[in-house]
A and B are shown apart, each in its own frame.
Chain A
Amino acid sequence: MQTPEFQGTHLWDRLCWAKENLEPHQSDYRVVYEDSIDECAKILVPDPNWMACALQGGILPPVWVYHELAKDEAQPDFKKHTRGYLLHQTEPMPAMTEEEAIEYLIQKDIPQSIWRTWDEGNRPKMVICKKEQLPQTREWRNAWRISDDLELAA
């Protein structure tokens, strides 16, 4: 299905179009990361409707738009977004592969302090894996950590 010309259309309207017209895509990828020594490992689960948008192309804004909005929100005098137009007016991303979509999602939904320095330090702070590589039961879920013995692929 051809994506309509969406630049200038509110992102929410685009997502409603996608929900109506695209088949959700359940990704097997999961991103495991640790952002606090006081908390267990977290697992990022891609949304199937969002993944369908990423694979389709022409719907989602570039990830830097979210970073700009996050910068605005981090200002002490922030009241309300005044640059929301970036979500709607910026040229949408072309179709991504599933792997590219996961990289985009990492940069959107995982703290920058994690993904910018994921492999610095004594052990990795973030790992992309398949769902079946997670422990098969949720036993001791709140004690899950990324293994020290992990062999990292380039």
Chain B
Amino acid sequence: MRAPEPVPGPSRTGRENELDSLLARVARGDQSAFEVVYDQLAGPVYGLICKVLRDPAQSEEVAQEVLLEVWRRASRFDRAKGSAQTWVMMIAHRRAVDRVRSASAEAQRDQKNAAASVTIATDEVAETVEANLERERVRRCLATLTETQRESITLAYYGGYTYSQVAGLLDVALGTIKTRIRDGLIRMRDCMGVSW
């Protein structure tokens, strides 16, 4: 399989470095640094949580908790383990999936509902991408994946499903989903020129 050509785009290194040092200032209690972090990351945090939870009121509540968590735990950010924005998005995604998986009503989402959201989830990626260059790059890179890779990644990340739930929804073997998600993400990574 040929590796897809990286899609050219602006280097994010500048912003990433800036966020790294902003977080170090937040850890020392610098509220103006926290305001800048908020302005840069509240959008992706809220958008991601909405994507997973779908309920705007609940998403707002979880997004607030996440951003407050960033303030509270800033000293625990370790740049050797990844970028600041990834650290924040990890907290946001985990909080969102914890919420989805702990709510027993949600846990009983029947297969029909879930199957219906498969289509929505994949369509929405296509709909929401036009705005900026970043979205455009993500869209172009998602387009280099196979349909089944794209579907598995979308269900897991935006849908908040575990990979065994994804396997159940798509009615394929666990091992298949495992490799689909990994292969797809690796292809995305190479396509977007993520260097880590």
A binds B: no
- A residues apposed to B, CB below 8 Å: none
